[in-house]
Amino acid sequence: MNSQQQSGTGGRAALEFHASGIAGTEEALCEELRELGLPSVRFNRGGIPFRGTWRDGWRACLQSRIAQRIHLLLARFPAPTPEMLYDGVRDAAWAAHLTTAQTFSVRAVCLGSEIKHSGFAALKVKDALVDHLRESCGERPDVSDDPDVQFFLYLAGDKAALYLDMSGEPLHKRGYRRDAGEAPLRETLAAAILRMSGWDRKTRLLDPMCGSGTIAIEAALWAANIAPGLGRERFGFERWASFGEESAQELRELKGELRAARAGQTPRIIAADVDAGVLAKAQVNARAAGVKLAFREQSVLDLQPDESAALIVTNPPYGVRIETDQLFPRKVMAAFCRLHGWRVGLLAGSPAYALEMSPRPRLRLPLLNGDLPCEFLLYDVP
Ligand SMILES: C[S@@+](CC[C@H](N)C(=O)[O-])C[C@H]1O[C@@H](n2cnc3c(N)ncnc32)[C@H](O)[C@@H]1O
Does residue 273's CB lie within 6 angstroms of at least one atom of ligand 1? yes
Whether 90 and 135 map to the same domain: the answer is: yes
Query: What spacing in Å lies between the alpha carbon of 272 and ligand 1's midpoint?
Result: 9
pLDDT at position 322 is 53
Kindly tell me if the per-residue pLDDT of 325 is higher than 90: no
Does residue 185's CB lie within 6 angstroms of at least one atom of ligand 1? yes
Reduced to 3 states (helix: H, G, I; strand: E, B; else coil), residue 346 is: strand
Query: What spacing in Å lies between the alpha carbon of 184 and ligand 1's midpoint?
Result: 9
Residue 180 within a domain: no
Residue 159 within a domain: yes
Whether 345 and 279 map to the same domain: the answer is: yes
In this structure, what DSSP letter does residue 73 have?
A: E
Segment 317-340 mean pLDDT? 80
pLDDT at position 13 is 55
Kindly tell me if the per-residue pLDDT of 168 is higher than 90: yes
Residue 239 within a domain: no
Whether 68 and 102 map to the same domain: the answer is: yes
Segment 138-162 mean pLDDT? 97
The chain-wide mean pLDDT, for the chain, equals: 92
Whether 200 and 279 map to the same domain: the answer is: yes
Whether 109 and 222 map to the same domain: the answer is: no
pLDDT in tens, 267-297: 999 999 999 999 999 999 999 999 999 999 9
Pocket probe for ligand 1: among 270, 275, 301, 367, the residue whose CB has the most ligand atoms within 8 Å is 275
Closest Cα to atom 18 of ligand 1: 299
Whether 312 and 196 map to the same domain: the answer is: yes
Does residue 299's CB lie within 6 angstroms of at least one atom of ligand 1? yes
Atom of ligand 1 nearest to the CA of 215: 6
What's the length of the chain? 382
pLDDT at position 3 is 41
pLDDT at position 103 is 98
Domain boundaries, position 297: 187-226+263-380
pLDDT at position 358 is 72
Reduced to 3 states (helix: H, G, I; strand: E, B; else coil), residue 231 is: helix
Atom of ligand 1 nearest to the CA of 331: 19
Number of domains in the chain: 2
Query: What spacing in Å lies between the alpha carbon of 345 and ligand 1's midpoint?
Result: 15
Strand-by-strand arrangement of the 48-52 sheet: 48-52, 15-20, 69-78, 159-165, 149-156, 104-111
Atom of ligand 1 nearest to the CA of 211: 27
Residue 250 within a domain: no
Query: What spacing in Å lies between the alpha carbon of 322 and ligand 1's midpoint?
Result: 9
pLDDT at position 9 is 34
pLDDT in tens, 19-70: 999 999 999 999 999 999 999 999 998 899 999 999 999 999 999 999 999 9
Residue 232 within a domain: no
Flag whether the pTM goes above 0.75: yes
pLDDT at position 248 is 97
Does residue 183's CB lie within 6 angstroms of at least one atom of ligand 1? yes
Query: What spacing in Å lies between the alpha carbon of 186 and ligand 1's midpoint?
Result: 14
Comparing 42-56, 149-163, 347-361, the range with the smallest average pLDDT is: 347-361
Does residue 300's CB lie within 6 angstroms of at least one atom of ligand 1? yes
Whether 95 and 192 map to the same domain: the answer is: no
Whether 20 and 132 map to the same domain: the answer is: yes
Query: What spacing in Å lies between the alpha carbon of 64 and ligand 1's midpoint?
Result: 26
Kindly tell me if the per-residue pLDDT of 323 is higher than 70: no
Residues 6+ apart with CB under 8 A from 155: 79, 85, 108, 109, 110, 111, 113, 115, 121, 161
CATH number of the structural domain spanning residue 119 = 3.30.2130.30
Comparing 156-160, 304-308, 344-348, the range with the smallest average pLDDT is: 304-308
Range picked from 11-25, 181-195, 215-229, 352-366 for highest mean pLDDT: 215-229
